[in-house]
Amino acid sequence: MKTATQNYYSRMRNVLAHIDRNLDSDLDLDAVSRAAAFSKFHFHRQFAAAFGLSLHRYVQLMRMRRASQRLTSSEMPSVTDIAMEAGYDAPEAFARAFRQRLGQSPSSFRKAPDWGVWLAAFGPLDNARNKLMHIVFDRNDVVVREVADTPVAMIEHRGDRSAIAETRERFMRWRKSAGLPPESSPSFMVFRSERTPADPADYSMDLCVATDRPITANDAEVKPGTIPGGRCAVLRYPGNTDNLEPAALYLYRDWLPASGEEARDFPLYCRRRLAPIPGMSAHEVVVELFLPLK
């Protein structure tokens, strides 16, 4: 039997499903709260508390993400049609909002999308959608495979996690200047400490991008490195998220003891890559967690 909390979270997840199905419909506070059977006088606060975004902002981001994917689809709909689908009365207003969010005009994005900026732009949306995700893994979700050595360019983050955004921004600027876009150069994060150490100053992780190019001295403190190959247990995470703790917990608590395997002397790491959406030139984020094995 579901607890009251589980039932509440289930209703909130149903709200997201309703929004997904009705992006072309009226999704104001009255309409969504009515569909969710929540009081409209409290729903805006409930939604923001659950997902970290206002309902209006969430719907706006969902429509803008769909618009960006439509711009690069093989169907090639007009910018005017896409603007109307996204809820804008005029293409000019859509273009202004699009440029503000993605740093490119719709026509420029259609010709040469900057997927690195796209990932950052819709990060808040992915974080919101993952807040109430209670993902259950089983042994069939884990694949043991041989992984090749991966040369990378890397920047080390050492210290409080609250400063990660600054480290990531510095690394992304270098990555862009080096011409290593996410659609052709996967990203890696090597977790050298636990997510929340007793002393926040002990947090340690590496931000990496796959490349075999020579790395020269630079102000961003980027240096060459290698993620060593070998056998790994690989668990694919459903959706883009910065919180891989549920997947890591499953690997260490459930999968590893039952597998008879032993962990190798290299930290847990994840790979983020952009994969084409079938039938479209748009992309989706694929996140995989790697547990190195002996």
User: 51-109: per-residue pLDDT in tens?
Assistant: 889 999 999 999 999 999 889 877 778 999 999 989 898 989 999 999 999 999 999 99
Bridge pairing between strands 142-147 and 204-210: unpaired
pLDDT at 273: 84
Mean pLDDT score across all residues of the chain: 87
Tokens of 224: 């060459």
Which of 106-110, 259-263, 280-284 shows the lowest per-residue confidence on average (mean pLDDT)? 280-284
pLDDT at 77: 85
Fold assignment, 139-292: Multidrug-efflux Transporter 1 Regulator Bmrr; Chain A (3.20.80)
Q: Are 268 and 239 in contact (CB under 8 A)?
A: no
Q: How far is CA 28 from CA 11, 84, 113, 117, in A?
A: 18, 17, 30, 28
Per-domain boundaries in the chain: 4-130, 139-292
The dihedrals phi and psi of 111, each to the nearest 5 degrees, come to: -80, -40
Instruction: Encode pLDDT of 114-143 as tens digits.
Output: 887 888 888 888 878 877 766 778 899 999
Domain 4-130 maps to which CATH number in 1.10.580.10, 3.20.20.80, 2.70.98.60, 1.10.10.60?
A: 1.10.10.60
